Every structure is written in structure tokens, then in C-alpha cells.
């Protein structure tokens, strides 16, 4: 199977390149292919002739999107639709990465794939518009929503907590937002399986289980063997430019229909910490 990945140097993109075995995989960074330029996309697809095109390219700075609305929609909406258009022209199957932020967080039970979109932030709105248009343009596309992505080799919540905990005796973390942490390598393996299963429609893919950011932070600190006290705070006291959904747990039923199960987030966290420590010992840029 020939696979072309856009966004190959992002947190997920790197994991996809590492995890995708036994297929002909080519990855492109944003500096190589600007998804806002459909001509660039066409030239790359003519060269690589993929059977699957995985679009993990996005402007993912959720707070930055609030002050850069035009850029957010240009990349996350129009750029994503450009990729879908070229996939349609070339006959390639498309897998598009989306987010739990397409929901408003008012639910108290895990979101099913058919739940109506109601995004709060510019980031969520840009992704929601992309989902809608891609679904119309390519009905057999696979749109994968995920949440709270973390992994070695990029900015993520565990890395931030470990850096803070290494220099502070106490840190405050919000305890009124609940979701499912997702380890990039686990998600990458699920995406490979979805492509090999010729998946279509919307699929939710996260590690099993859910927690608040506070619970996640405490588990990080405890598993890392640190003594930092992690205290609860509220979203109202920790003001951010972009509103976050209070509840964004995604139901795993759509993923399980393909026979795919992802590990519990606590197990994934332990894998992350081991990988992070290995990167330190090998002279990587990650430091505790």
C-alpha cells in the first residue's frame, strides 16, 4: 500500500512515520507542502500516487487560533478541503485528523460520532467546517477525531507538567475539564489499522479511560517519582484565550467496530515516560 502523509513532522506525524511498517510511506512537513496551495498538493500527489492520503497537517495552537482566525481557517478548513479535493481527483482514499474540540462539552456521557457539532473555539470551528465539507466532497473519507494528544518529541501536557514539577514544589492544574489523554504512538497504530481496514466515516480514537487535567497531572508526577504537590484549580481561575469544552470524552464504539482497541491512558503514560527517559539518555533534546 502506498501512503502519503501531510504534517509528517508534527507529534502525530512523527509517530506515524515510525509506526507504519510494511507499506510504502512518504511523509511531508508543512515547509515541504503548504496545504493552502492546492497546486503544491497536486504536484506531490502526482509524484507519490498514494492509495491512502493521511492529512495530519494543522494549525494546532488552540489559543493562537483565537488571535489568528484567518490563518486557522486557511489551514484547518480550506487547506484540509484542498487535500480532500486532490484526493478525489487522484482516486486516493483520505484519512483526515480532527478533534474533540468540535463539541461544546455540555454532555455528561461520551460523545458518539453522530452527535451534532457545536464548537466553542476558533480551532474547533475551523476543524468542524473541514469535517462538514470533506464529508460532502468525499463521502468515503475517514475522519478521525482524537483528544489530548501527547508524546515524545513535541510540546504536550506531560512534558509541560514534568518541566514545571522539576522546578516547583507546588503547581495548580484545572480539575473541571474531563477528557481522554491519547498517546501519539497508540493513535498512529490505530490509524494504520483503520487504513488497512478501508475505514470510512467518522471514527473516534483515543486511549481508553478518562480523567481531568488534574488527575492526569497527578498521575504524571507520581509515575515520574516526583514530590511536587499538584493542587486543583478551576477554568475560571486559569483564564486562556480559547474556551475549552468542560467534557470531551469520545466514545470508542466506532473504533471497536473495526476490532481496534487502544490501551488505557495510564498504561500509555508509562510508555511515554519510558520513551522520554530513553530520549534523555540517548542525548535527545528532552530533559526532565
**What is the predicted pLDDT for the residue at 288?**
27
Residue 89's nearest CA partner among 156, 128, 123, 43 is: 43
Integer Cα distance of 47 and 263 in angstroms:
37
Rounded to a whole number of angstroms, the distance between the first and last alpha carbons of the chain is 39
Write out pLDDT tens, residues 214-240: 999 999 999 999 999 999 999 999 889
**What is the predicted pLDDT for the residue at 286?**
33
Write out pLDDT tens, residues 161-202: 999 999 999 999 999 999 999 999 999 999 999 999 999 999
Cα→Cα distances 148→37, 86, 170, 207, Å: 29, 29, 23, 10
Side-chain-side CA neighbours of residue 237 (13 Å): 9
User: pLDDT exceeding 90 applies to what percent of the chain?
Assistant: 93
Domain 2-147+182-208+248-264 is in which class?
A: alpha beta
The residues assigned a catalytic role are: 123
**What is the predicted pLDDT for the residue at 79?**
98
Write out pLDDT tens, residues 72-87: 999 999 999 999 999 9
CA angle 260, 265, 270 (to 5 degrees): 115
Cell triple for residue 6? 501531510
Write out pLDDT tens, residues 17-69: 999 998 999 999 999 999 999 999 999 999 999 999 999 999 999 999 999 99
CA angle 144, 132, 181 (to 5 degrees): 30
CA angle 73, 58, 252 (to 5 degrees): 110
Return the number of other C-beta atoms located less than 10 Å from residue 140's C-beta: 11
Q: Domain spans of the chain? A: 2-147+182-208+248-264
Integer Cα distance of 153 and 209 in angstroms:
24
Return the number of other C-beta atoms located less than 10 Å from residue 243's C-beta: 17
**What is the predicted pLDDT for the residue at 285?**
40
Cell triple for residue 18? 515510525
- Residue 33, SS3 per DSSP: coil
Residue 244 has pLDDT above 70, yes or no: yes
Amino acid at each position: 500500500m502506498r501512503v502519503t502523509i501531510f504534517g509528517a513532522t508534527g507529534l502525530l506525524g512523527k509517530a506515524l512515520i515510525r509506526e507504519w511498517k510494511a507499506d510504502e510511506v512518504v511523509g511531508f512537513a508543512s515547509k515541504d507542502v503548504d496545504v493552502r496551495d492546492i497546486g503544491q498538493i497536486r504536484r506531490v500527489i502526482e509524484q507519490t500516487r498514494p492509495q491512502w492520503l493521511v492529512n495530519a497537517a494543522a494549525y494546532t495552537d488552540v489559543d493562537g487560533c483565537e488571535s489568528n482566525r484567518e490563518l486557522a481557517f486557511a489551514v484547518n478548513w480550506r487547506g484540509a478541503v484542498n487535500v480532500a479535493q486532490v484526493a478525489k481527483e487522484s482516486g486516493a482514499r483520505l484519512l483526515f485528523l480532527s478533534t474533540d474540540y468540535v463539541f461544546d462539552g455540555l454532555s455528561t456521557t461520551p460523545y458518539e460520532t453522530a452527535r451534532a457539532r457545536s464548537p466553542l473555539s476558533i480551532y474547533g470551528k475551523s476543524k468542524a467546517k473541514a469535517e462538514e465539507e470533506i464529508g460532502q466532497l468525499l463521502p468515503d473519507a475517514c475522519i478521525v477525531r482524537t483528544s489530548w494528544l501527547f508524546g515524545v518529541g513535541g510540546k504536550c501536557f506531560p512534558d509541560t507538567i514534568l518541566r514545571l514539577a522539576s522546578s516547583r514544589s507546588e503547581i495548580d492544574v484545572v480539575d473541571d475539564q474531563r477528557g481522554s489523554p491519547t498517546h501519539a504512538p497508540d493513535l498512529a497504530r490505530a490509524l494504520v489499522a483503520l487504513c488497512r481496514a478501508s475505514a470510512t466515516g467518522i471514527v473516534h480514537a483515543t486511549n481508553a479511560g478518562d480523567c481531568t487535567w488534574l488527575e492526569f497531572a497527578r498521575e504524571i508526577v507520581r509515575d515520574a517519582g516526583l514530590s511536587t504537590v499538584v493542587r486543583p484549580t478551576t477554568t475560571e481561575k486559569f483564564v486562556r484565550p480559547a474556551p475549552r469544552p468542560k467534557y470531551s470524552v469520545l466514545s470508542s464504539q466506532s473504533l471497536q467496530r473495526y476490532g481496534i482497541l487502544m490501551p488505557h491512558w495510564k498504561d500509555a503514560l508509562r510508555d511515554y515516560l519510558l520513551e522520554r527517559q530513553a530520549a534523555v539518555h540517548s542525548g535527545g533534546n528532552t530533559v526532565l
